[in-house]
Chains A and B, each alone.
Chain A
Amino acid sequence: MPTQEEIFDKIRTALVDALGVDDDEVTPEATLVGDLGAESIDFLDIVFRLEKSFAISIPRGELFPEDVLTNAEYVKDGKLTDAGLAEVRKRMPFANLDEFAKNPVVQDFGNLLTVADMCRFVETKLKATNTD
């Protein structure tokens, strides 16, 4: 099991390669969309690189639950409903959703995920892989 620092280093390399950003731009607090300029298609690229780098499998929607955000059952007037928020919390235990939950506008969701969230996500995946 790699250390947190090793996980961060590999994620930084993946983001530098996928997004063309500089090393020093990739900080734990940086948001993928807002600060690093990731677009939706970049998530496919990033997921590919993480899978290879950590030898893990990341099914579609696991890192970024786009299916919830486009599901009419969970979205009303452009905002996530309570059920939608609960579903996203369940699916993304690695992300801090408290600030977003105050005004859960779907359009703002993309700007939520930080590099630190991604590190926690990978750490969770690696732990699960090691205990399988």
Chain B
Amino acid sequence: MRWYWIDRFIEFESGRRAKAIKVISLAEEYLHDHFPSYPIIPHPLIIEGVAQTGGLLVAEYNAFEEKVVLAKISKAKFHGDAVPGDVLTYTADVEYIKKDGAMILGTVHRGEELFGHMELVFAHLQNGHENRTLYEPRMFLQMMRMLGAYRIGHAADGGPLIEPAGLSGR
């Protein structure tokens, strides 16, 4: 299974906000175990989707130079269950991005309905972990391309979002 829990960015404003959609399909294998004959996307996987939306937003702000990890889910509330056929919209708003990490306020909507909200804390790995290879920055870049961030995104100055120099190589 590929660990992608969002399907496409529909908004990406560098350092400020990102919106992504997640289409839930009965073709996703885990739904047949959760639960047999009663498929519901587990809430932690929705949190992971919001974390991917927000994590890429934080990582892009620092040109993918920081090792951004989801450190803490301070708060998460859901108001129902999402099922195959639902389209969820994840919105990640930057509360702030600092040297040590970032905080994101996330919401989940199904259509106009507020389906869930959360606060996520991301850390920039330090104290000896900064040299650990968790992933290559290019992996994030490929994910950004595949999710369409550079097609629809905007830089902080309002211009088009561009790939960071030095991370090219299609």
Interface residues of A (CB under 8 A from B): 17-18, 20, 41-42, 44-45, 47-48, 51-52, 60, 66, 70
Would A48 and B103 be within 8 Å (CB), given that A41-B121, A66-B127, A70-B127 are in contact? Answer: yes
Known: A17-B74, A44-B71, A44-B121. A52 touches B96 (CB 8 A): yes
Complexed CA–CA distance, A48 and B123 (Å): 11
Q: How far is the CA of A12 from the CA of B32 in the complex (A)?
A: 44
- In contact, B99 and A45 (Cβ under 8 angstroms): no
- B-chain residues with CB within 8 Å of residue A44 when the two chains form the complex: 71-72, 100-101, 121, 123
Mostly helix, strand, loop or mixed at chain B's interface? strand
CA distance A70 to B129 in the complex (A): 14
Complex formed: what's the CA distance from A41 to B71 in Å?
Answer: 7
A60-B99 contact given A44-B121, A44-B123, A48-B121, CB 8 Å threshold: yes
Asked, given contacts A41-B121, A45-B121, whether A60 binds B100 with beta carbons under 8 Å apart, the answer is: yes
Closest to B102 in A: A48
Contact with A along B67-96 (1 / 0, CB 8 A): 000011011000000000000000000011
What 7 A-B pairs are tightest by C-beta distance, nearest first?
Answer: A41-B71, A45-B121, A41-B72, A60-B100, A48-B103, A44-B101, A45-B72
Residues in A whose Cβ lies below 8 Å from that of B121: 41, 44-45, 48
Q: Please name 26 pairs of A and B residues whose Cβ atoms are closer than 8 Å in the assembled complex, sorted by A.
A: A17-B74, A17-B119, A20-B74, A41-B71, A41-B121, A44-B71, A44-B72, A44-B100, A45-B71, A45-B72, A45-B74, A45-B103, A45-B121, A47-B100, A48-B95, A48-B98, A48-B101, A48-B103, A51-B98, A52-B95, A52-B96, A60-B99, A60-B100, A60-B126, A66-B127, A70-B127
